[in-house]
Amino acid sequence: MIVFSCHQKEETMIHKDGYYWFLTYGFPDFQREEFEKTVNKKWKIKTVRVAGCVVTQELVDSVRSENEKTDLALQKRYGKNWKDLYDKDIQDYTMKQVDIMDVLITNKVFRKELAKHKIEIDNVDKDAEQLGRPDFYKVNINKIYPEEGIAFTVNVDLKNRTVNLIK
């Protein structure tokens, strides 16, 4: 038996946290999930893992049914082509991450700070957050073991290709 307690408005599929929920199961795609975290905020979408890799047909059918309802609610809010627009946002965000890294790896201050924290250039784990305008980002560079926290933070201006050390 599967029970979903979402406290949702039936007609909109918006949960009490204000997000549309998509249910998932199976082995996660960690890289895509990382990109989705930022884009999902804009779209008010949350991905909720309801099972691992071992699932029953009942679970698969239940997840499909719930996700179809969510899809219809998103179509109603954003239009029938919402998935195409969402995928474009994911693609654009992915390209911004490439642009950010391109600016960072060519910056002397950034490289010096990496060396100070003993982080290899090909092993950078970062979290980027857009600030105020489209080409300006706050980037946290995580320590080698992310559970140890943030090594340092920089602001990256993609338009002017500059990097400023924050801490």
Measured CA to CA, the distance from residue 137 to residue 141 in angstroms comes to 12
When pLDDT is cut at 50, 70 and 90, the band that residue 123 belongs to is confident
pLDDT in tens, 129-149: 889 888 999 999 999 876 789
Share of the chain above pLDDT 70, in %: 92
Number of neighbouring beta carbons within 10 Å of residue 163: 20
pTM of the model: 0.74
For residue range 54-87, list pLDDT tens digits in order.
Answer: 999 999 999 999 999 999 999 999 999 999 999 9
Asked if CATH classification 3.10.450.40 holds for the domain at 96-165, the reply, yes or no, is yes
Write out the two tokens for 84.
């195409």
Q: 79 by DSSP, 3-state: which?
A: coil
Angle at 40 between CA 110 and CA 150, to 5 degrees: 30
Give the residue, 145 or 1, on which the prediction is more confident: 145
Say if residue 137 is exposed, middle or buried (CB neighbours under 10 Å; 0-12, 13-18, 19+). buried
- Mean pLDDT for all residues in the chain: 88
Domain limits, the chain: 20-80, 96-165
